[in-house]
Amino acid sequence: MKVIYILSNILVDENGDPVVDENGDNILLSGWTGEVEVATNTLFDLTYMVARELDILEESTATAAGNTLSLIDTYRDEDDDYFNGGTLWLVRDAGGVGDAPEGTYAVVQDYAQGTGTFTLRSALGGSTAVGDKYAVATKKITLEQIVQAINVSLMDLKTVPTTDITSLTTATDQTEYTLPLAAKEDLREVWLQLDTTDSNDNRWMKLYNWYVQQAATGTQATLVFPYQPLATAYDLKLVYMSPHPELHVYDQQMSEFIPAERVIYPAVLKILRRYRSRVQGRDDWLDDQIEKYEGKVAESERMYPIPIPQRMGKIMLVNEKMDVSPTFEANKVRL
């Protein structure tokens, strides 16, 4: 996914003084736009990457058309029922344009070697076709175990940045807004929409002077501005720290703030440790894998930190020529 961003600050020199043009006007960076790639890993992506790290996948291509509950690969030679209870991932559609059923998975109900047919326990996102690339694993490590390890790994991250652009909208003569309960404890940033005419060009502007009026436990807090934001029907974007919700459906997305490595490697480690506990025996290869992923987990924590937004409430001192609120003068503190 690509996200459009806009810089709306006044350009300043090395001394912090605003840069002016030949007419004596401040030079703004507003109006300049760019694109930044944002990772949007789904539960499908995460389960597939964990299974690939575990080296439990057999990957191949469908040789005949199936339907939403079946995939056919006549080149497979495993015995009947070999994949029963395992998992099948549709990795790439035959056309290569991301059409369904790409990005969906299902548990294998039955595998028939004679026809090369996988019968699935639940429907994929579309009918399978000749040329669809898929991956399949036995029930040695189940889909449920992989999903559980992913969700526990997400929980272990404690709180992560969460963005909400749907809960609050400005209103005339209103400077106090009831926050979503999840944003109560650790609100970091508040942004104001400046353009309501284009969903792809909201012109978000960061607001600095605000505070949270706390309420009783389990009761929603209040976002308070000491000025009137833009009058009517402009969205407020909230960025706050909160636990990541569990993922249970293949197309549910993980927060783009979380590097995939911070979830994949801990999930693999949890599965390997659980498997060692289950087999209850000495296995040098398994011990080596556990040690390997302990190292990967530690390295990912160093190499892929989760970005934590700075808290931007209360009062901010600014140069007298710099505007930091939509009311321009009402929210200004002069040095």
What is this structure's pTM?
0.75
Cis-peptide, bond into residue 101, ω within 30° of zero = yes
Angle at 2 between CA 150 and CA 200, to 5 degrees: 120
State yes or no: pLDDT of 314 exceeds 90: no
Collect contacts of 20-28 with beta carbons under 8 A, ≥24 apart: 26/321
- Contacts of residue 310, defined as CB under 8 A and 6 or more positions apart, other chains included, come to 188, 189
Sheet containing 235-243, strands listed edge to edge, beginning at the edge strand earlier in sequence:
159-169, 235-243, 187-192, 205-207
> What does the pLDDT look like over 146-185, one tens digit per residue?
999 999 999 999 999 988 999 999 999 999 999 999 999 8
218 confidence band (pLDDT: 50, 70, 90): confident
Indicate the average pLDDT of the chain.
86
**pLDDT > 70? residue 46:** yes
Q: Does residue 208 register a pLDDT over 80?
A: yes
Cα separation of 164 and 255, whole Å?
A: 12
- Give 3-state DSSP helix, strand, coil % of the chain, rounded to 5: 20, 30, 50
pLDDT at 75: 96
Q: Which pLDDT band, with edges at 50, 70 and 90, does 320 fall under?
A: very low
- pLDDT: which is higher, 16 or 207: 207
Share of the chain above pLDDT 70, in %: 81
Q: What is the mean pLDDT of residues 301-330?
A: 64
Comparing C-alpha atoms, which of 41, 24, 32 is closest to residue 6? 32
The pLDDT score that the predictor gives to residue 271 is 97
pLDDT value, residue 256: 87
pLDDT tens digits along 57-79: 999 999 999 999 999 999 999 99
How far apart CA 255 and CA 333 sit, in angstroms, is 36
Quote the pLDDT of residue 330: 40
Phi/psi of residue 76, each to 5°? -75, 145
Please give the residue that has the higher pLDDT: either 22 or 32.
22
CB atoms within 10 A of CB 301: 15
Q: How confident is the model at residue 21 (pLDDT cuts 50, 70, 90)?
A: low
pLDDT band at 7 (very low <50, low <70, confident <90, very high): very low
pLDDT at res. 4: 42
40 falls in which pLDDT band (50, 70, 90)? confident
| Residue-level pLDDT at 328 | 41
For the cut 60, the answer to whether the pLDDT of residue 36 exceeds it is no
Looking at residue 252, its pLDDT comes to: 96
Pairing type for strands 159-169 and 205-207 reads unpaired
How do residues 194-207 score in pLDDT, each as one tens digit?
999 988 899 999 99
